[in-house]
Amino acid sequence: GWKKSDIDLDLSEVISSIKKNGSKVSLFIDPTISMVDLALECGADRIELYTGTYAEFFKKDKYLAVKDYIKSSEYALSKGLDINAGHDLDLENLQFLKTSIPKIHEVSIGHALISDSLIFGLEETIKLYKSKIKSS
């Protein structure tokens, strides 16, 4: 995620310009209340939570790993933002994240999906990921 700075004014202007064309804007952020507030200040419609940290700590303590994501998601939803998530999500950690935050609208799973398709084949891999998402 970005840090608050002089560029935020420029980002707000860019977002405003994009939204005039009827487009929605999503910002890729760290799972903190302050980053959600920055996304709101800049005029984003949606956030995508960076889940690299979640994935890194998932095997050690999945409940602790997801805590900040739940808190920032609930806050974002209460402010009217939609939620996406992505980075290092895979067959092992995706379902727990989606179960913990059921209102996640989209997940980015491209890298893991392609890697897994080398083992299981693309069609079977897509079925596996859909199953993880739907069962959560």
pLDDT tens digits, one per residue of 26-54: 999 999 999 999 999 999 999 999 999 99
pTM of the model: 0.88
* Chosen CATH of 7-134 out of 2.60.120.200, 3.20.20.70, 1.10.8.60, 3.40.50.1820: 3.20.20.70
Phi-psi region of 49 (alpha: psi -120 to 50; beta: other; left: phi over 0): beta
- Residue 4's pLDDT is 62
Which 3 state secondary structure label does DSSP give 47? strand
State the average pLDDT over residues 79-106.
97
- Residue 135's pLDDT is 81
Q: Where are the domains of the chain?
A: 7-134
